[in-house]
Amino acid sequence: MSKTYNLTTPITEEQTRQLKAGDVVYLSGTIFSARDAAHKRLVDLIEAGEELPFDLEGSVIYFVGPTPPKPGDPIGSAGPTTSYRMDSYSPTMLKHGSKGMIGKGKRNQDVKDACKEYGGIYFGATGGAGALLGKQIKAAEVIAYPELGPEAVRKLEVENFPVTVINDTYGADLYQMGREQYEVKA
């Protein structure tokens, strides 16, 4: 039976260890946007022992490249991007303190193993609902790599941002669980 949680970032390992695949979470507080080009730069900084543009500890990173905002809005449509492009970077981010990732689609085994080892969560956001998700973002500020345009790292202030736990800290995978419910057993 799935549960519903309201969490404020930064999130702790104690909080992530409570979550199970299928749980619904409403996030509030600060999250950061980063896609593959930004992830490569962030991991390069980690490997070089240099300072990051934001504190990874307890952070949640949203895989999004938002559209430009309409006048008076902090951000445009902000739907999740396909997460597998971050698979080679996510274990390093989790190892260095990040506790959550938001995207869409399946993750590889290395990411699932890193979630278990470092207490991280992979959250799914509803693809195709970018305009609605953008309304839960109350402020947006580019904090790194402005030359990447929509893929720049942004500090996002969110309120009741709806996500679902896809991969939890125990190795469960909501996508696999869903398939198993409907597979014909021979």
Catalytic residue list? 39
Among 142, 148, 147, 163, residue whose Cα is nearest residue 60: 163
Among 6, 58, 57, 66, residue whose Cα is nearest residue 33: 66
Omega within 30 of 0 (cis) for the link into 66:
no
Under 8 Å between Cβ of 60 and 114: no
Helix (H, G, I), strand (E, B) or coil at 154: strand
Under 8 Å between Cβ of 127 and 104: yes
Show the beta-strand stretches assigned E in the chain.
Answer: 4-8, 24-33, 60-62, 100-103, 121-124, 137-144, 153-167
Beta bridge mates, 124: 103, 164
Q: How far apart are CA 124 and CA 104, in angstroms?
A: 5
